[in-house]
């Protein structure tokens, strides 16, 4: 059957535009093809308008065929657009430099604060605010803990994590503090109904570590501790400690004290005065109290140091043989040293915080200064 010339022309146009749409590799190219075909002066638009030039007998058939051509073009372009958009999203997701957590450009444009930089206790502005966007930052306790952990990991210590809810054995008995021992009064305890307790010190992790690792080993473990006691500028009922424990064939007080000095100079980044006194803890022998000259008053006396000029910060000593036994180690074979750093007080000294109770207050005006 012979086709009318206009029919041949419409069929050819359908094939041509189908090919041109199929060849588009991006949305800009497709948009250009759409204008060329269906725009005001587009080729398909022109074909549709040409109905006026067609013989009356063919007008109806031409109208239907040209409308079909237009519909085929529109459908092909819409389908192609969907496919290209999906491909663009897939390509973005496949690109691992695409960071969905990245804050908006306005926030990124702000100058970041250097870690450890403090705004002091008053007058600081909340960092990270722009166009309604707020940028978070680490809590000062977190920063100090991370820095202390970095110092000790560089000395080969493992970083461990132990529970806040503890057994009486781990918190007291294993540390040579039986129920009748007066040392229990030094750490008034929150007891739970089920006989467990909220750990009063991170030393509760000592025998846990001894039972977990084969000696020799060295480890630190930090976290919240809880004491049922009245609060003041340097005492909180909930505060943070960081415990260090080193077990080896032979250990020395010199190595212990040298490690404590390394720790303090790395964290406080200045020359500090310390004083060493004998200290009594049933789980170390000998035991020491390492006090830091108060950084808030430079030793002159203030409420944070109870007017003494010194702050108890870093008790330590050689692990008592009874504790080694409780941890399954033979004291004839193994020795150890341990310390229990007052992390909250170290944060106070580093950032010039005059009252430990600010730290866990959750007060945004306080936190915004760091």
Binding to ligand FA5 by residue 37, rule CB under 6 A?
Answer: no
Stretch that binds ligand FA5, among 26-34, 135-143, 156-164, 312-320 (CB under 6 A): 312-320
Question: Do β-strands 129-130 and 217-226 pair in parallel, antiparallel, or remain unpaired?
Answer: unpaired
Exposed, middle or buried by CB within 10 Å (0-12, 13-18, 19+), for 256?
buried
Q: Which is nearer to ligand FA5, 20 or 289 (CB)?
A: 289
Binding to ligand FA5 by residue 339, rule CB under 6 A?
Answer: yes
Binding to ligand FA5 by residue 281, rule CB under 6 A?
Answer: yes
Contacting residue, 24, 144, 304, 356, with ligand FA5 by CB under 6 A: 356
Stretch that binds ligand FA5, among 81-89, 161-169, 261-269, 307-315 (CB under 6 A): 307-315
Question: Do β-strands 133-134 and 129-130 pair in parallel, antiparallel, or remain unpaired?
Answer: antiparallel
Binding to ligand FA5 by residue 312, rule CB under 6 A?
Answer: yes
Stretch that binds ligand FA5, among 35-43, 55-63, 279-287, 301-309 (CB under 6 A): 279-287
Residue labelled with tokens 């502005």: 125
Stretch that binds ligand FA5, among 77-85, 91-99, 130-138, 336-344 (CB under 6 A): 336-344
Binding to ligand FA5 by residue 340, rule CB under 6 A?
Answer: yes
Question: Do β-strands 158-160 and 217-226 pair in parallel, antiparallel, or remain unpaired?
Answer: parallel
Q: Which is nearer to ligand FA5, 124 or 279 (CB)?
A: 279
Binding to ligand FA5 by residue 205, rule CB under 6 A?
Answer: no
Instruction: Give every CB contact of residue 281 below 8 A, 6+ residues apart in sequence.
Output: 183, 287, 315, 317
How many helices (H) and strands (E) in the chain?
12, 12
Stretch that binds ligand FA5, among 48-56, 213-221, 250-258, 281-289 (CB under 6 A): 281-289
Stretch that binds ligand FA5, among 39-47, 142-150, 236-244, 295-303 (CB under 6 A): 236-244
Strands (E), 61-187: 129-130, 133-134, 158-160, 165-166
Instruction: Give every CB contact of residue 145 below 8 A, 6+ residues apart in sequence.
Output: 222, 240, 242, 343
Instruction: Give every CB contact of residue 346 below 8 A, 6+ residues apart in sequence.
Output: 144, 148, 267, 313
Binding to ligand FA5 by residue 342, rule CB under 6 A?
Answer: yes
Q: Which is nearer to ligand FA5, 281 or 351 (CB)?
A: 281
Binding to ligand FA5 by residue 236, rule CB under 6 A?
Answer: yes
How many other CB atoms are found less than 10 A from the CB of residue 154? 10
What tokens appear for 162 in the block? Answer: 């132990």
Angle between the N-to-C axes of helices 5-23 and 56-94, in degrees from 0 to 180, rounded to the nearest 10: 10
Residues recorded for the chain: 370
Stretch that binds ligand FA5, among 93-101, 191-199, 339-347, 360-368 (CB under 6 A): 339-347
Distance CA 74, CA 43 (A): 13
Binding to ligand FA5 by residue 227, rule CB under 6 A?
Answer: yes
- Residues 85-144 binding ligand FA5 (CB under 6 A) are none
Contacting residue, 201, 320, 357, 358, with ligand FA5 by CB under 6 A: 201
Binding to ligand FA5 by residue 284, rule CB under 6 A?
Answer: yes
Q: What is the DSSP letter of 219?
A: E
Nearest in space to 71 (alpha carbons), one of 31, 40, 37, 36: 37
Query: In this chain, which residue has its C-beta nearest to ligand FA5?
Result: 342
Q: What is the closest distance, in whole angstroms, from the C-beta atom of residue 139 to ligand FA5 in the complex?
A: 16
**β-sheet bridge partners, residue 242:** 222, 341
Binding to ligand FA5 by residue 357, rule CB under 6 A?
Answer: no
Binding site for ligand FA5 (CB under 6 A): 201, 203, 227, 235-236, 239, 241, 281, 284, 287, 312-313, 315-317, 338-340, 342, 344-345, 356
């Amino acid at each position: 059957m012979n086709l009318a010339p206009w029919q041949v022309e419409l069929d050819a146009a359908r094939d041509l535009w189908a090919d041109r749409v199929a060849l588009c590799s991006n949305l800009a190219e497709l948009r250009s093809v759409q204008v060329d075909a269906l725009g005001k002066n587009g080729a398909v638009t022109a074909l549709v308008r040409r109905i006026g030039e067609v013989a009356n007998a063919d007008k109806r058939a031409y109208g239907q065929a040209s409308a079909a051509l237009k519909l085929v073009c529109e459908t092909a372009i819409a389908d192609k657009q969907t496919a290209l958009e999906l491909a663009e999203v897939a390509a973005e997701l496949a690109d691992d430099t695409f960071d969905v957590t990245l804050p908006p450009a306005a926030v990124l444009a702000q100058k970041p604060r250097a870690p450890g930089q403090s705004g002091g206790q008053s007058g600081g502005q909340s960092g990270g605010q722009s166009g309604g966007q707020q940028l978070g930052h680490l809590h000062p306790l977190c920063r100090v803990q991370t820095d202390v952990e970095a110092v000790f990991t560089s000395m080969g210590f493992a970083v461990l994590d132990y529970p806040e809810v503890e057994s009486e054995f781990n918190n007291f008995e294993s540390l040579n503090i039986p129920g009748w021992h007066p040392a229990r009064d030094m750490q008034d305890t929150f007891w739970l109904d089920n006989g467990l307790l909220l750990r009063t010190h991170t030393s509760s992790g000592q025998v846990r570590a001894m039972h977990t690792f084969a000696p020799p080993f060295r480890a630190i473990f930090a976290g919240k501790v809880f004491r049922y006691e009245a609060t003041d500028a340097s005492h909180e009922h909930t505060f943070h400690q960081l415990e260090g424990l080193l077990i080896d064939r032979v250990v020395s007080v010199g190595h212990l004290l040298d490690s404590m000095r390394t720790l303090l100079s790395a964290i406080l980044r200045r020359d500090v005065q310390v004083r060493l006194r004998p200290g009594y803890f049933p789980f170390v022998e000998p035991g020491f109290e390492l006090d830091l000259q108060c950084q808030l008053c430079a030793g002159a006396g203030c409420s944070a140091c109870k007017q003494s000029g010194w702050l108890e910060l870093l008790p330590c000593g050689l692990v008592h043989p009874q504790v080694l036994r409780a941890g399954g180690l033979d004291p004839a074979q193994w020795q150890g040293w341990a310390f229990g750093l007052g992390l909250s007080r170290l944060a106070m000294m580093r950032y010039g915080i005059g009252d430990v109770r600010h730290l866990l207050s959750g007060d945004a005006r306080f936190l915004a200064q760091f």
